[in-house]
Chain A
């Protein structure tokens, strides 16, 4: 258990000491919110900022998680991973250290968005709903970062990881319910959007704005996270070069 904290600490320290990386992590989501949230012409809602904020929150977690996989790629290329794998500490601690760090960094970015959205006129969620929002985002972050870190474990260079990132993030992004509600999207897109795990998170957070808890969507997300993390742990335990 402690090993996870040590690996987490290492990544956190390295991130915090790179000023530019911290700056960009905080500014990028804000830019998303402003350009996507305020600049797109919309007709289906009067309060677009309330509508788009959950989408931007989840997309930020998606981006942070997929980008986070490159941490492991670099550890691998630079020789750190070999050193860690030769340690007696359980190998899945490497995985959990990474996904904790990636998710934490994503939640920090999400906080920037929440604050900014409030400043831009979004309605403030009551404490319980806000806590649940964070819970859903964390769950989504764990799922995606476990996935990206495990994919990174099996790729050998940064270019192929960038390729993977592009292939996965684009479709997940555009076929989700982030940018428009189900009733305005083209009918062929609807089933894809509904089945997309990104939408599970977005829909659950949107429902919270109306005080509803979509247990089925949250449950699906939880189930998916458990399965993906179980597979990831198995892969990390078994990994050979």
Chain B
């Protein structure tokens, strides 16, 4: 596996705030998802890797080139789609793509523009003003712009934010197809289910620190326990059969965790009935990436006083 992106102790400070803390990653030809709560340093990481922001310390190489000393070479090999959805609504789809084709100085420009519009299924609307495009189409147009010079690494910051379910699915289909064409895709997202489904590997950031990096399947199996949710009427004194842990209450439900949860269900039901409580419903599910995420990431609300100045600095510099 060739290394497309390699970071070593990559760090970014904003004053006293450490937005990214000694991040070391090695990313090959894959769809790599960077997950984390708001303000965990995802976008800061992307900005450093795309040469837009200087690291405070540590280093990063993209396609073998250093992001600080060889920024221009890095820019030749990458494309970056920020989360803002920046397409010119007064230009046509084709004109939007042509601008990037020209700026990249590609050969056989017109052919290439047709090709990427075709890949993104925008051909029949290519000569309409982007003003008339839906959100999903605009995002696909941005992908077309990003593809026009055949980058080796594609950086996508929240590519599905604000899109409806069908549009999101389509974007991910395209992202997977691009990986099939040999492109490395580095994507940040808030949507765990999407990352679970589409990313080869994910990294979870919390307060700028890497807390986990692996394939979604491995991360889920690492917890290894199923989640059992039960709703009962009557009293339960807290005794449990062996191998089941009480996790807490979620509204009216009692939540337990257990290895091989479905095997433990009859015992649990018997335990409730022995105490005179009756079980109204019970369900078992395997953990999702959400559960992993929440178990690894401290929730922001209990992180002490809200430092307004820091928060603003972070937002502004993001």
- A241 contacts B53, CB within 8 Å? yes
In the complex, per-residue mask of B284-318: 1 if CB is within 8 Å of any chain A CB, else 0? 00000000000000000000000000000000111
| Residue of B with least CB distance to A10 | B99
Question: CB within 8 A of B99: which of A6, A82, A88, A241?
Answer: A6
- A156 contacts B316, CB within 8 Å? yes
- B91 contacts A85, CB within 8 Å? no
In the complex, per-residue mask of B78-103: 1 if CB is within 8 Å of any chain A CB, else 0? 11111111101011000100011011
Answer whether residue B50 sits at the interface, using C-beta atoms and an 8 A cutoff. Answer: yes
**A13-B75 CB under 8 A given contacts A82-B82, A240-B53:** no
Question: CB within 8 A of B317: which of A3, A13, A78, A241?
Answer: A241
Answer whether residue B51 sits at the interface, using C-beta atoms and an 8 A cutoff. Answer: yes
- A10 contacts B91, CB within 8 Å? yes
Question: CB within 8 A of A86: which of B50, B54, B84?
Answer: B50
Main secondary structure on A side of the interface with B:
helix
Question: CB within 8 A of B51: which of A7, A13, A14, A86?
Answer: A86
- A79 contacts B103, CB within 8 Å? no
| Residue of B with least CB distance to A14 | B90
Q: Note all chain A residues with C-beta closer than 8 A to B72.
A: 88
- B86 contacts A86, CB within 8 Å? no
| Residue of A with least CB distance to B81 | A83
- A79 contacts B86, CB within 8 Å? yes
**Chain B interface size range:** 20 to 34
- A79 contacts B83, CB within 8 Å? yes
Which residue of B79, B86, B145 has the most chain A CB atoms within 10 A of its CB atom?
B86
Q: Note all chain B residues with C-beta closer than 8 A to A89.
A: 103-105
Number of A-B contacts (CB under 8 A): 71
- A79 contacts B316, CB within 8 Å? no
Answer whether residue B52 sits at the interface, using C-beta atoms and an 8 A cutoff. Answer: yes
Which residue of A3, A83, A240 has the most chain B CB atoms within 10 A of its CB atom?
A83
Q: Note all chain B residues with C-beta closer than 8 A to A2.
A: 102, 105
> For residues 4 through 21 of chain A, which have their beta carbon under 8 Å from a beta carbon of chain B?
6-7, 9-10, 13-14, 17-18
Q: Note all chain B residues with C-beta closer than 8 A to A6.
A: 99, 102-103
Cα distance, A9 to B100, chains bound together (Å): 12
Answer whether residue B253 sits at the interface, using C-beta atoms and an 8 A cutoff. Answer: no
Closest chain B CB from A131 CB (angstroms): 32
Q: Note all chain B residues with C-beta closer than 8 A to A78.
A: 84, 86
- B52 contacts A86, CB within 8 Å? yes
Question: CB within 8 A of B82: which of A3, A14, A18, A83?
Answer: A83
Cα distance, A88 to B100, chains bound together (Å): 11
Answer whether residue A87 sits at the interface, using C-beta atoms and an 8 A cutoff. Answer: yes
Q: Note all chain A residues with C-beta closer than 8 A to B318.
A: 241
In the complex, per-residue mask of A56-82: 1 if CB is within 8 Å of any chain B CB, else 0? 000000000000000000000011101
Answer whether residue B76 sits at the interface, using C-beta atoms and an 8 A cutoff. Answer: yes
Q: Note all chain B residues with C-beta closer than 8 A to A156.
A: 316
Cα distance, A13 to B88, chains bound together (Å): 10
Cα distance, A86 to B154, chains bound together (Å): 12
| Residue of A with least CB distance to B47 | A241
- A88 contacts B76, CB within 8 Å? yes
Cα distance, A77 to B100, chains bound together (Å): 19
- A83 contacts B54, CB within 8 Å? no
Cα distance, A14 to B88, chains bound together (Å): 8
Question: CB within 8 A of B88: which of A10, A87, A88, A240?
Answer: A10
Q: Note all chain A residues with C-beta closer than 8 A to B91.
A: 10, 13-14, 17
Cα distance, A241 to B80, chains bound together (Å): 15
Closest chain A CB from B143 CB (angstroms): 12
Q: Note all chain A residues with C-beta closer than 8 A to B317.
A: 241
Q: Note all chain B residues with C-beta closer than 8 A to A240.
A: 52-54
- B51 contacts A87, CB within 8 Å? no
Closest chain B CB from A235 CB (angstroms): 15
Q: Note all chain B residues with C-beta closer than 8 A to A80.
A: 86, 88
> For residues 153 through 204 of chain A, which have their beta carbon under 8 Å from a beta carbon of chain B?
156
| Residue of A with least CB distance to B77 | A88
Q: Note all chain A residues with C-beta closer than 8 A to B103.
A: 3, 6-7, 84, 87, 89
Q: Note all chain A residues with C-beta closer than 8 A to B100.
A: 87
Closest chain A CB from B56 CB (angstroms): 11
Cα distance, A241 to B19, chains bound together (Å): 14
In the complex, per-residue mask of A77-110: 1 if CB is within 8 Å of any chain B CB, else 0? 0111011111111000000000000000000000
* CB-CB nearest 9 A-B residue pairs: A79-B84, A79-B86, A86-B80, A88-B75, A17-B90, A88-B76, A79-B82, A80-B86, A6-B102
Binding site for B on A (CB under 8 A): 2-3, 6-7, 9-10, 13-14, 17-18, 78-80, 82-89, 156, 240-241
Interchain Cβ contacts under 8 Å between A and B, 27 examples: A2-B102, A6-B99, A6-B102, A6-B103, A7-B103, A9-B99, A10-B88, A10-B99, A13-B90, A14-B91, A18-B90, A78-B86, A79-B85, A79-B86, A80-B86, A85-B51, A86-B50, A86-B75, A86-B78, A86-B79, A86-B80, A87-B100, A88-B104, A89-B105, A240-B52, A240-B53, A240-B54
Task: Identify 11 new A-B residue pairs, CB closer than 8 A, beyond the known A3-B103, A82-B52.
Answer: A2-B105, A10-B91, A13-B91, A18-B90, A82-B47, A82-B84, A83-B86, A85-B52, A87-B75, A240-B52, A241-B318
